[in-house]
Amino acid sequence: MANAKLKIDNREADKNPRQIRANGFLPGSIYGKGIEAKSIQINTHDFEMAYKNNQEGTWELTLGKEKFNAKIQELQVNYATNEMLNVEFAVI
């Protein structure tokens, strides 16, 4: 299975997760051994399209000039509305 590639951005510090989702982004975090935990946001549409084909695979995440290989540690979903609420990536 090929890596899914996504561009991620640092989360806007002055906005709460509800505001970030309203602007079309999925809030999340990335953490792991050897890196400082980062709060991120991902374009929701891009993530949903990639997630359909790569639920259990690895992800190549690009944050500026940094690249991370990660797996999804946890994906929070509102099952009543099927809306993705938050994603956590663990660097491998």
Note down the domain range covering 77. 28-33+44-92
Domain membership flag for residue 7: no
Q: How many residues does the chain have?
A: 92
3-class state of residue 46 by DSSP:
helix
User: In this structure, are residues 78 and 55 in contact, taking their beta carbons and an 8 Å threshold?
Assistant: no
pLDDT tens digits for 13-24?
889 999 999 999
Q: Indicate which CATH number applies to the domain containing 83.
A: 2.40.240.10
pLDDT over 90 at 76, yes or no: yes
Domain membership flag for residue 17: no
pLDDT tens digits for 34-69?
889 999 999 999 999 999 988 888 999 999 999 999
Side-chain half-sphere of 14: how many Cα atoms within 13 Å? Answer: 0
pLDDT tens digits for 22-39?
999 999 999 999 889 999
